[in-house]
């Protein structure tokens, strides 16, 4: 699923698909699936995971070389946003992860026309 999500003042292209949680693990060495079933989560951890998922989805949309992405490239990407910007976009990020925004998404090929 392709979608543009506003994070702060920036429009960020994102792609979510079946590979997204595996890319998350490839980049961050953390299991997104295990996180989603954990009962020991807290709000701060939720925000961190949503920011990291946003990064993965943005890099998928940019067709970045996933093998070159890591904690440092994530932090560099985050530096373009204000401290509260990602928190403001969490609902849209979660909708995209959960596939709840299909009616709002536009395939990238159509968006380019």
18-38: average pLDDT: 85
> Are 58 and 77 in contact, with CB atoms under 8 Å apart?
yes
In this predicted model, what pLDDT tens digit does every residue of 1-19 receive, in sequence order? 999 999 999 999 999 999 9
pLDDT of residue 43: 60
In this predicted model, what pLDDT tens digit does every residue of 54-79 receive, in sequence order? 999 999 999 999 999 999 999 999 99
CA distances from residue 19 to 2, 25, 26, 32 in whole angstroms, order as listed: 13, 10, 10, 11
Confidence of residue 49 (pLDDT cuts 50, 70, 90): confident
Domain ranges, ordered by start, for the chain: 2-106
């Amino acid at each position: 699923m392709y979608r543009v999500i506003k994070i702060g003042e920036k429009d960020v292209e994102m792609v979510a698909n079946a590979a997204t949680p595996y890319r998350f693990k490839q980049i961050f060495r953390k299991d997104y699936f295990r996180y989603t079933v954990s009962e020991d989560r807290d709000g701060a951890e939720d925000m961190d995971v949503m920011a990291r998922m946003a990064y993965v989805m943005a890099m998928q949309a940019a067709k970045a070389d996933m093998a070159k992405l890591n904690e440092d490239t994530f932090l560099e990407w985050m530096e373009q946003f204000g401290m509260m910007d990602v928190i403001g976009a969490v609902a849209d990020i979660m909708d995209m992860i959960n596939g709840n925004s299909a009616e709002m998404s536009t395939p990238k090929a159509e968006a380019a026309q």
